[in-house]
């Protein structure tokens, strides 16, 4: 796992990047709270989601938005490139479907350049180019739930910047200059979920990232760092969102 996190254009956040040779993939493949971009050196990998199957070759990329459930299978050895990233709110609210898109030329060189120059400005340019190339191929209706109300968008960004603590509705209402009742009504109308339920999901997503990246931190410490002050409650909420326990998620391939 990458030890650095690059921040690109104040939106992109890179969680992991690599190019490895695989002879098998473990059966488990949990939901992830970030975008996943995959490239295979040849046919032999298979992704399944919502009753559909994708079998890319070296001319295709697989792009999976955050929190989309996917199963994968490997039928023969291959080189596998991966890039995990977040765009930030509200752009992480993409339609929940897998996309198979065309690659950039010479993908081994692209990943090689990124890894060789990791955490440098040159690597940042290469990653930005790859992410931009992938996102530019998505259908125009891929973001149907982005709210048109800029006050709510600003409040979502405020939530994401404060996943380390609980935020009462009164504070959220002040951020978007609405009454508390008006804020709850407007948010729920636009997103189909209450502000506190949405914020809890953001904190669980941040906990999932920390479980993978902060291996030295205990589960209790990560729960506390994301506003969950009871491990039992945190574990129940986490399992409901991701389908596996925090311990299983941390140890998953």
Instruction: Give per-residue pLDDT as tens, 212-235.
Output: 888 899 999 999 999 998 899 999
Q: What is the reported pLDDT for 4?
A: 41
Sheet with 78-86: list strands edge to edge: 7-8, 12-22, 78-86, 35-40, 60-64, 99-102
Query: Given this model, what pLDDT does residue 23 score?
Result: 92
pLDDT tens digit sequence for 10-23: 468 888 888 999 99
CB-based burial label for 146 (10 Å; 0-12, 13-18, 19+): middle
Q: Does 34 have pLDDT greater than 70? A: yes
Q: Band of the pLDDT at 118, cuts 50, 70, 90?
A: low
Domains of the chain and any CATH numbers:
7-135 (2.60.120.280), 150-251 (1.10.10.60)
Strand ranges of the sheet holding 45-49, from the earlier edge strand across to the other edge: 52-54, 45-49, 71-74
Predicted model pTM: 0.86
């Amino acid at each position: 796992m990458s030890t650095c996190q690059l921040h690109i254009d104040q939106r992109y956040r890179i969680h992991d990047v690599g190019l490895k040779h695989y002879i098998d993939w473990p059966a488990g493949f949990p939901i992830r709270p970030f975008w996943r971009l995959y490239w295979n050196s040849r046919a032999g990998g298979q992704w399944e989601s919502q009753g559909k199957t994708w079998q890319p070759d070296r001319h295709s990329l697989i792009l999976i938005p955050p929190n989309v459930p996917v199963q994968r299978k490997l039928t023969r050895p291959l080189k596998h490139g991966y890039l995990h990233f977040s765009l930030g709110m509200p752009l992480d609210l993409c339609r929940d479907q897998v996309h198979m898109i065309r690659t950039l030329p010479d993908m081994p060189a692209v990943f090689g350049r990124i890894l060789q120059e990791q955490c440098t400005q040159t690597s940042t340019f290469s990653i930005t180019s790859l992410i931009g190339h992938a996102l530019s191929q998505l259908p125009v209706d891929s973001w149907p739930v982005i709210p048109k109300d800029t006050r709510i968008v600003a409040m979502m960004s405020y939530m994401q910047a404060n996943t380390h603590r609980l935020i009462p509705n009164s504070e959220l209402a002040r951020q978007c200059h609405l009454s508390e009742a008006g804020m709850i009504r407007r948010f729920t109308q636009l997103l189909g979920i209450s502000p506190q339920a949405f914020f809890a999901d953001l904190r669980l997503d941040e906990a999932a990232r920390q479980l993978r990246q902060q291996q030295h931190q205990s589960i209790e410490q990560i729960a506390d760092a994301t506003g969950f002050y009871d491990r039992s409650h945190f574990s129940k909420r986490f399992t409901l969102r991701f389908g596996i326990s925090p311990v299983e998620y941390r140890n998953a391939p």
